[in-house]
Chain A
Amino acid sequence: MAVKEITGAEFEEEVIKSDVPVIVDFKAEWCGPCKVLKSTVEEIAGERADVKVVSVDIDEEEDLVDEYEVFSIPCLVAFKGGSEVGRSIGLASKSEIYGALGL
């Protein structure tokens, strides 16, 4: 399932105020591992109706990168009730990602 790319302006509405848990995929166009991980992220979006999955382009959204202290990509951050509950950094299998994100 395709993953919606969001901007910093949409972050509050799409992530912080979301009623369901959200996975944010911090990625960049120049990042090979991020592009390899994309198919896994799309698979998660397709199989988990109870979770919202969105992506953020780190080159466009420096404020979000600073606020959430992203220093390495690919970086998946899980949010529940507006707070971070888990993080998965680097390439990983789907089961490793679920484990790291606590979902």
Chain B
Amino acid sequence: MIYDVLIIGAGPAGMTAAIYARRAGKSVLVLEAKGYGGQIIKTPDIENYPVEPGISGYDFATRLYEQTKALGAEFVFERAEGIVDGNVKKVKTPEGEYGAKSVIIATGSESRPLGVEGETALIGRGVSYCATCDGNFFRNKAVAVVGGGNTALEDALYMADIAETVYLIHRRDSFRGEEATAELLRRRENVKILYNSTVTELIADRRLRQIVVTDKEGVKTTLDVRGLFVAVGRIPENRAFENVIELDGAGWASSGENCRTKTPGVFVAGDNRSKDVRQLVTATADGAVAATEALKYIASL
């Protein structure tokens, strides 16, 4: 079967695109590597999306998933590993290959790792990329948060209520995140801020026990921490599709507001696209635009 629209990624952008394409009567396949919902399912309460303040990210994603399925979009849970361009575009997964007239890449982004040796093996054993998900496992323990943006500052503040001590480690001498949050952190007695410092070593047995922090003079300090929360930004999941889309210097998919790419019939939507505002509402908006553009493209064939 050749689908009219194949969507890679079942987050808010991808599922919204599926809704628009199905309502236009097109056949739609959504490929998803992990599980529906995308990053929003980690959000406890959504307060900035129109109509229903306080809805949980999980409820939002589940209702969107049910809406999309009810409209007749097909979901397959396999990881898209590449696109072959042609009259029929082919999307490959470890399990098979799917053909479509148009493709919308809505793969979002993943947490950027620190790049310290042993980090990956310690995920779930002390290293975490989501304080609101895993913070409770570190009640009354010492933890470290790494980063200087809003996520890092908010994670540190969240952990200050749970953990015994929070070390906030930032490689520069000032934060990129909001000053108001930084000021709240400076007033907390159990938060210790280490500027101009990076995490250079993880010491662990089966679980994380200590981290080594090195400052810009090269002075090393060993800290006893059970948890290390990494909040140093996100990486777009575009690398598998570099042959059909253009990436900017940081790896985001270059595209205007029309979500088009350098390849006719291939579109990008949501957080993996190069843009200024990455929010739920801009992700769903991208989905609508990309689907509309895909419909126009199909009509032109």
Contact = CB atoms under 8 A, between A and B. Distances in A.
Contacts of A90: 34, 123-124
Interface residues of B, number: 31
Contact of A32 (B34, B42, B124, B137): B42
A98 B61 CA distance: 25
Interface stretch (A5-13, A17-25, A49-57, A70-78): A70-78
Contacts of A75: 124
B35 A37 contact: yes
Given A89-B123, A93-B77, A71 B137 contact: yes
A18 B95 CA distance: 32
B227 interface: yes
A36 B36 contact: yes
A32 B125 contact: no
B128 interface: yes
Given A30-B44, A32-B42, A32-B61, A72 B128 contact: yes
A69 B207 contact: yes
Given A71-B227, A93-B78, A36 B37 contact: yes
A73 to B, nearest CB: 7
Contacts of B95: 95
Contacts of B133: 31, 33, 72-73
A93 B33 contact: yes
Nearest to A28: B136
SS class, residues of chain B in contact with chain A: loop
Interface in A34-86: 35-37, 39-40, 65, 69-73, 75
Given A36-B36, A93-B78, 16 more contacts: A31-B133, A32-B37, A32-B61, A36-B61, A71-B124, A71-B137, A71-B138, A71-B227, A72-B124, A72-B128, A75-B124, A87-B124, A90-B123, A90-B124, A95-B78, A95-B95
Interface of B: 33-37, 41-44, 56-58, 61-62, 77-79, 94-95, 123-126, 128, 133-134, 137-138, 206-207, 227
23 contacts: A32-B56, A32-B57, A32-B61, A33-B35, A40-B35, A69-B206, A70-B124, A71-B134, A71-B138, A71-B227, A72-B124, A72-B128, A72-B133, A72-B134, A73-B133, A90-B124, A91-B34, A91-B35, A93-B34, A93-B78, A94-B77, A95-B78, A96-B79
